[in-house]
Amino acid sequence: MNILMIGPSSASKGGIATVIGNFETHFDSSEHNVTYLATWQEGTFYKRLQTTVRSFFQLRKIIRQNKIDIVHIHMAQQGSFYRKSLLLLLSKSSCRVVLHMHASQFDTFYHRSHPLAQKYIRWTLRQPDQVVVLSEEWAAFYEKITDVPVTVIENAVDMPAESSYNATSQHIIAFGRIGERKGSYDILKIAEEVGTVFPNVQFDLYGDGEVDKVADEIKQRNLTNVQLGGWIDAEAKEKILQDAVLHILPSYHEGLPMAILETMSHGIPNISTYVGGIPQAIEPNQNGMLIEAGNTEQLATAITTMLSDQAMRTQFSKAARSTIENRFAMAPYLKKWEQLYSKLNHK
């Protein structure tokens, strides 16, 4: 069976690109052959536009020449939704379509849209043969606005052979787009308080987004224990993961962040929030800690509690790796996709 996967280039930034990169690296099936079509890549506006426009012209040709059976579309909200909705419609007449929803704020996007736009969103979500989401929480939302079957397939990561966790590290890291949605400003609000108790601990924020705005606030607050590391490549990330005591992601909206799964696979305990699919990965006081989004008092308490107890961190580290191995490992994840593709082909 021939699959066409549509989404950003795997060299792009963000969780969807990471998911596609994992398919490119690890998906190896005797029954299914996957071709990739990039609709987005990093670069200038002209380069991004050129990639998007080219994908529209290439789509039907690839479907025809490669005898595509199933088109697998990765979709988020806002511009991603409208771009991919057109590609969905172009694919639908020739193939079965799987719509893989990664949006962290699709509910907000939908409810804030004009009634006519909401009608278009609902109509679009009735066009694929299958909708795939990242958590049961998101499944409950999409089932309210589409009658297409909705399946949960959680994200997955490649497991390192062994843990490199450094329980004595002085670095607290945060991966992902820097900004309000990820709780970056909440980290700045509690950094000084944590620093008074643990003066040697450093907060390292890695990612793109509202970098200049966050940098200005760091300067205004005179925070000497917070630094911005920018967007990093895979090689640099591996070095950072080997010297991190905690990963924190106090997000307000999420799907199921790859950053949490990646750090857990390396044995790094996480502190995050009760949003999206995060509670499916982090079990409070078992393999990490969860707080209410926006509650900076809980965030500061969780960090100081974890930093004060090395035995707790070590226990959470082992449990975090076990969670990934048992529930979010790459092999069973890809097996679920093989089974879904086969099921669709026999409908």
pLDDT, tens only, 309-331 = 999 999 999 999 999 999 999 99
Q: Given a cut of 90, is residue 42 above it in pLDDT?
A: no
Question: Cα–Cα distances in Å, from 296 out to 193, 250, 278, 337?
Answer: 11, 9, 18, 39
Strand-pairing partners, residue 246, are 172
Q: pLDDT digit string (tens) for 106-120?
A: 999 999 999 999 999
Task: Examine the domain organization and report whether 194 and 283 are in the same domain.
Answer: yes
Mean pLDDT confidence for 3-28: 91
Q: How is residue 159 annotated by DSSP?
A: P
Q: Given a cut of 80, is residue 261 above it in pLDDT?
A: yes
Task: Examine the domain organization and report whether 147 and 25 are in the same domain.
Answer: yes
Q: Is residue 162 part of a domain?
A: no
CA gap 27, 337 in Å, rounded: 9
DSSP 3-state percent helix, strand, coil across the chain (nearest 5): 45, 20, 35
Task: Examine the domain organization and report whether 77 and 92 are in the same domain.
Answer: yes
User: How many separate domains does the chain show?
Assistant: 2
pLDDT at position 14 is 84
How far is residue 98 CA from its own chain's centroid? 18
pLDDT at position 271 is 98
CA gap 135, 280 in Å, rounded: 8
Q: Is residue 15 part of a domain?
A: yes
Tell me the pTM.
0.88
Q: Which of 307, 303, 264 shows the shortest CA–CA distance to 282?
A: 264
141 neighbors 130 (Cβ within 8 angstroms): no
CA gap 132, 297 in Å, rounded: 36
Identify residue 138 by its one-letter amino acid code. W
CA gap 179, 207 in Å, rounded: 10
CA gap 336, 79 in Å, rounded: 29
CA gap 260, 239 in Å, rounded: 17
pLDDT at position 52 is 87
pLDDT at position 15 is 86
Task: Examine the domain organization and report whether 79 and 10 are in the same domain.
Answer: yes
Q: Which of 223, 141, 213, 210 shows the shortest CA–CA distance to 181?
A: 210
Q: Is residue 161 part of a domain?
A: no
Indicate the helix (H) or strand (E) that contains 293: none
Task: Examine the domain organization and report whether 16 and 139 are in the same domain.
Answer: yes
Task: Examine the domain organization and report whether 144 and 190 are in the same domain.
Answer: no
Q: pLDDT digit string (tens) for 191-244?
A: 999 999 999 999 999 999 999 999 999 999 999 999 999 888 888 999 999 999
Q: pLDDT digit string (tens) for 126-151?
A: 999 999 999 999 999 999 999 999 99
Task: Examine the domain organization and report whether 178 and 303 are in the same domain.
Answer: yes
CA dihedral 173, 267, 103, 1 (to 10 degrees): 140
Q: Is residue 138 part of a domain?
A: yes
CA gap 87, 131 in Å, rounded: 15
Helix (H, G, I), strand (E, B) or coil at 291: strand
Task: Examine the domain organization and report whether 86 and 181 are in the same domain.
Answer: no
Task: Examine the domain organization and report whether 142 and 128 are in the same domain.
Answer: yes
CATH number at residue 16: 3.40.50.2000
What rounded mean pLDDT belongs to the chain?
Answer: 94
Maximum average pLDDT range among 159-168, 228-237, 296-305 = 296-305
Q: How confident is the model at residue 92 (pLDDT cuts 50, 70, 90)?
A: very high
Domain holding 17, by residue range, is 2-156+329-345
Strand-pairing partners, residue 70, are 3, 96
Mean pLDDT confidence for 55-76: 94
Residues of 283-318 as b/e, b for ≥16 C-beta within 10 angstroms?
A: eeeebbbbbebeebebbbebbbebbeeeebbeebbe
Match 């965030």 to its residue by tokens: 299
Q: Which of 247, 258, 250 shows the shortest CA–CA distance to 274?
A: 250
Task: Examine the domain organization and report whether 192 and 223 are in the same domain.
Answer: yes
Q: How confident is the model at residue 101 (pLDDT cuts 50, 70, 90)?
A: very high
Q: Is residue 318 part of a domain?
A: yes
Q: Is residue 292 part of a domain?
A: yes
pLDDT at position 347 is 63
Mean pLDDT confidence for 37-55: 86
Q: Is residue 11 part of a domain?
A: yes
Q: Is residue 163 part of a domain?
A: no
Task: Examine the domain organization and report whether 142 and 208 are in the same domain.
Answer: no
Burial class (CB in 10 A: 0-12, 13-18, 19+), 171: middle
Look up residue 155 and give its two tokens.
């994200």
Task: Examine the domain organization and report whether 145 and 216 are in the same domain.
Answer: no
